[in-house]
Structure 1
Amino acid sequence: MASVRRFVFATPRAAAARTVRAHAFLGGALLVYQRAVVTELSRRLGLAISAPAEADLVDLESIAAGEPGLLFLCGLPYVRTRDAGLTLEPLAAPVSIDYADESPGYHSLLLGSPRFGGATIDQLTALRLGINSYDSMSGWVLPAGEGMPLDRFLSTTITGTHRRSLASLLAGELDAAPIDSMLLACEAITTPAFAELPALAAYGPSPSPPVVLVGDDPELAQRLRQALTSLHEDSSGRAALALGCMARFDAMHDGDYDWIRECDRRAATCTPS
């Protein structure tokens, strides 16, 4: 009697049982919104996605090389990691409520000490600059790549986070700091004084930080992209987006981030080694 070969095929129920890990790289002020978005994705897709946990960029390569994961990631480490050969698939990027009629984008706002109200960067000199990192898109690469006048600064302090930069401006410990406009909107919810800091200049727009899938799963990527870009179509999705001051997600692809690659090349010419 001939032997019978048995084949086991994955079913939608079995696929849904897999847990997709979510990681957040964009700052604690956005975490409530990101967790609400993940809750909506899980509900709509019947997919187990872990609540996003704050992650460190030093772990990005190991996360990108592992099991399927959902990443809320800045565009700069996205392009650098993808161009290094790792498989990252951009799914969608958020559109701010303040720019709801535009494509996904944000600015680096060069905020000043409260004493500089009404001034512009061209009117000031010998300033104490604070940046969160030389590897930050909004904190350095975007303004440096877009022509921030570095001769206006007497010193540069690395603060480590946008929140520390904002707090240092309020305390008078810094004179100026480039801040992510999307992050600022959420930071100002809990600390309204941040919204009162004067803007000395604005740089950008740059493409918004993408939601990224790692793990090389095209079918899962398409399902997640479709769910993200339809969140704004019902009340529960809009409520999740509103927690981050976002209007919707638009679909994104790798070529949408070529602008960041070019800006990174320009900024490299004035970034300390």
Structure 2
Amino acid sequence: MTIFKRTIASLMTVGALIAYNAGAQAAEECKNPDSLVFSIIPTEETTQELDIYKPLIDKLKEKTGKSVEFFMPTSYASVIEGMVNGWVQIGVHGPNSYVLAKEKDPALEVFATYTKAKGHFQEEGPGYRAVLVVKTGSKFDSIESLKGSVLGLADPASTSGNLLPRMVFGEKVGVGPDLEKYFSKVVYTGGHDQSALAVEEGRVDAAFVATHRLDNVIDRGLAKPEDYKVLWTSDLIPQDPMVYDGKLCEPLKAQIRDAFLTLNEDPASKPFFDGIHSTKFVAMKDSDYDIIRKFVEAEKAAGK
């Protein structure tokens, strides 16, 4: 064998060893915890009855062979921090809070969302809309009539309850993200349900609410569809993303995906899907939320 051939052979052997060691190291570095922590942004469902999540939790336990704990968050930010800091492995975010979380930890991966059943304001499918609602019978009957009124927003990290209103509706009324220039007062209520109730109870004059969250308030008997008048409706927004820690080992991630995407095939899951007014989970990818990133970038550019 010539020196040249021996050199090439040696390099190939070294390259193979490096590749093998890199693969082995990556396999060693992936996470495979004994238990999983699951969390979801504060919604009517989380605060209403945690029992509705039992079929999903049970399916996760079955597919992964691990114990699963439910973390009750206090805000969108607490779910973001839980995942970024690594003590929450599976999270359900809002579209905007997912984008914010992934900026902090690029390893986070979206893998699914749910399709919504048709409701009072919600249309069927894996998307929803933001609606600007006022109380039926109030003096507010147009966007123009709302100038100088009190507006309710859900949470700073909410897509339909803050980001989209500022970046889309704000442009429509000529104030950009500074809704405070159009309304006499802008308050954060803490969630979509609180925004809807604040309108119904007269604590705010108007509020931006996600269609499926507004339906939840109505279905709980806290308000009626006829209590609300819609003055503006957004374009379609992708539903809340299901996200896991991308540092989890690949077989574990596959088991988690399988638990979500096959849950509707289990008759025992019907109470869960009925509880969240959904029909099934569907696969999603990171690029599905690029529309949200455009809003976020526009918001940053505006210095809001």
Identify the TM-score tier after normalising by the shorter chain: 0.7 to 0.9
SS in 2 for 1:130: strand
Q: Please, which runs of 5 or more residues in structure 2 have no aligned partner? A: 1-31, 174-178
Report whether the alignment pairs 1:198 with 2:217.
no
One-letter identity of the residue aligned with 2:70: A
One-letter identity of the residue aligned with 1:108: A
The equivalent residue for 2:22 is: none
SS in 2 for 1:146: helix
Task: Tell me the CA shift for residue 267 of structure 1.
Answer: 3.8
- Contact 1:134–1:271 at 8 Å: present in 2 too? no
The equivalent residue for 1:8 is: none
Task: Tell me the CA shift for residue 77 of structure 1.
Answer: 1.8
One-letter identity of the residue aligned with 2:157: D
Select 1:186's aligned residue among 211, 216, 230.
216
Residues 53 and 30 (structure 1), Cα distance of their counterparts in 2 relative to 1, 3 Å cut: closer
Q: Please, which runs of 5 or more residues in structure 1 have no aligned partner? A: 1-14
More strand by share: 1
> Quick one: distance in 2 between partners of 1:200 and 1:271?
28
- Contact 1:38–1:52 at 8 Å: present in 2 too? no
> Quick one: distance in 2 between partners of 1:193 and 1:101?
21
- Contact 1:92–1:250 at 8 Å: present in 2 too? yes
One-letter identity of the residue aligned with 2:110: P
Task: Tell me the CA shift for residue 179 of structure 1.
Answer: 1.0
The structure with the larger Rg is: 2
Q: CA RMSD in A?
A: 2.8
> Quick one: distance in 2 between partners of 1:243 and 1:225?
21
Report whether the alignment pairs 1:66 with 2:86.
yes
SS in 2 for 1:80: helix
Q: Bigger shift: 248-257 or 155-164? A: 155-164
Query: Normalising by the residue count of structure 2, what TM-score does the alignment of the two structures yield?
Result: 0.73
Task: Tell me the CA shift for residue 210 of structure 1.
Answer: 1.0
Task: Tell me the CA shift for residue 233 of structure 1.
Answer: 2.2
The equivalent residue for 1:105 is: 127
The percent of aligned pairs where both chains have the same amino acid is 21
The equivalent residue for 1:81 is: 101
Number of residue pairs matched?
256
- Contact 2:114–2:280 at 8 Å: present in 1 too? yes
Q: Bigger shift: 243-252 or 23-32? A: 23-32
The equivalent residue for 1:213 is: 244
> Quick one: distance in 1 between partners of 2:123 and 2:204?
32
> Quick one: distance in 2 between partners of 1:239 and 1:261?
34
The equivalent residue for 2:3 is: none
Select 2:36's aligned residue among 4, 13, 20.
20
- Contact 2:39–2:88 at 8 Å: present in 1 too? no
